[in-house]
Amino acid sequence: MSGRDRVLGRIRRALGEPGAGGAGTGRAPVEAAAGEDGIPRDYLRVHGDRTPAESADLLAAHLREYRAKVHRTDEDGLAPLLARLLAARGARTVLVPPGLPPSWLDGAQAVRVEDRADSTPYALDAVDSVVTGCALAVAETGTIVLDGGPDQGRRRITLIPDHHICVVRVPGQLVDSVPQALERLDPTRPLTWISGPSATSDIELDRVEGVHGPRTLEVVLIDAPAQ
C-alpha cells in the first residue's frame, strides 16, 4: 500500500467514515460542510476608523517602531530623495527591477545593475543597494508586501543586498488591515511580507536588527497630490 493510501485510510478510520469501523461518530458530508463551514467570522475587518492621512501616519509609526527608516515625499521629490539616500549610504551600485520607472533614479550616482536570468547569487551579493516598488502596504502591522510585479522583480533581489529602499504610494497602495490586504493579493504569485529589517531575538531574547536579509530597510511614502 502506498503512503498516500495508508495516510488517507487512517484519517478516514479516525474520523469514523461510514463502514470504516473507526472510533468517530460519523460526520457530515464535506460538500455540505464546504458551503457552511460554521466558522464564526465576526472578528473585525479593520481595527479603528482612520482617514487616509491617519493610515499613512500609522504605517510610518509602525515601520519605525521595527527600526525601518521612513521618508515622506511627493512625486516630484522622489528622484532627488532616492539619489540622496543612495549617496548617503555610499552605494556604488544599485539593483533595479525590470519595470522600475527609469525616472525614479534620475540623478542617482550609483551604477544601475539589472537582475538578469544568469545573475548568480554571488553577483547579486556584490551589489550595494536595491530600489523597488511594492504590491501594497498594511498600516496596522507596519508591513509592506511584494508580489514579484515588474517594479519589484524576483524575490532574490530584495534579499541579498544589504540595503533595500521600497517605495509605497499612499493612499493607493495602502490598506489598513491584514484582511484587507489578503483580499487584494493573488495567491498564485510569490508573496513576501516584510515588516522591518531582518531581525533575531535568539540570543537572550535581545532583538538584533539584521541577520541575513537587508539590515537596512528604508521605506519611502509618496503622497498623492491633493485633489
Partner 1 sequence: MTATHLGMPAFPAAAREAVRDDVLRANLRRATHTIRDKRARAVTELADWDRLRAAGKAVKDHTLRHLDHYLLRLEAAVTAAGGTVHWAADATEANRIVTELVRATGEREVVKVKSMATQEIGLNEALEAAGIAAYETDLAELIVQLGHDRPSHILVPAIHRNRAEIRDVFRTEMGRWGRPAPDGLGDDPRELAEAARLHLREKFLRAKVAVSGANFMVAETGTMVVFESEGNGRMCLTLPETLISVVGIEKVVPTFRDLEIFLQTLPRSSTAERMNPYTTMWTGLGPSKGADGDGPAAFHLVLLDNGRTDTLADEVGRQALRCIRCSACLNVCPVYERAGGHAYGSVYPGPIGAILSPQLRGTGSGIDASLPYASTLCGACYEVCPVAIDIPEVLLHLRERVAQGGPVTREGIRVRIRPARGHTAERAAMRAARLLLERPGALRAGERLLSRARRLRPRRLPGPGSAWTDSRELPRPPREPFRDWWARERGGRA
Span from 75-83, 85-93, 103-111, 133-141 in contact with partner 1 (CB under 8 A)? 133-141
11 vs 53, which CB is nearer to partner 1?
Answer: 11
Pick from 121, 132, 69: which is nearest to 95 by CA?
Answer: 132
Question: Considering the complex, what minimum distance in angstroms separates the CB of residue 133 from partner 1?
Answer: 16
Closest separation in Å from C-beta 90 to partner 1: 19
Residues 14-73 that bind partner 1 (CB under 8 A): 14-15, 22-24, 27, 30, 33-34, 37-44, 47, 62, 66
149 binds partner 1 (CB under 8 A): no
Nearer to partner 1, 83 or 199 (CB): 199
- Tell how far CA 24 is from the center of its chain: 42
- Contact status: 88 vs partner 1 (CB under 8 A): no
Is 10 one of the binding residues for partner 1 (CB under 8 A)? yes
Q: Does 189 bind partner 1 (CB under 8 A)?
A: yes
The position carrying cell 521605506 is 219
Segment near partner 1 (CB under 8 A); pick from 49-57, 83-91, 99-107, 198-206? 198-206
CA distances from 73 to 94, 185, 221, 223, 227 (A): 21, 26, 6, 6, 16
211 binds partner 1 (CB under 8 A): yes
CB of residue 98 to partner 1, shortest distance in Å: 11
Q: Could you tell me the three cell numbers for 51? A: 482617514
Residue 178 to residue 139: CA distance in whole angstroms: 9
C-beta separation of 127 from 162 below 8 A: no
Is-contact 222 73, C-beta < 8 A? yes
In the complex, least distance from residue 185 CB atom to partner 1, rounded to whole angstroms: 8
Task: Based on the shown chain and the rule CB under 8 A, indicate whether residue 83 belongs to the binding site for partner 1.
Answer: no
Exactly one of 97, 133, 161, 196 binds partner 1 (CB under 8 A); which one? Answer: 196
What count of residues does the chain have?
227
Q: From residue 31, give the alpha-carbon distance in Å to each of 34, 35, 136, 198.
A: 5, 7, 35, 43
Task: Tell the smallest beta-carbon distance from residue 129 to partner 1 (Å).
Answer: 16
How far does Cα 150 stand from its chain's mean position? Answer: 15
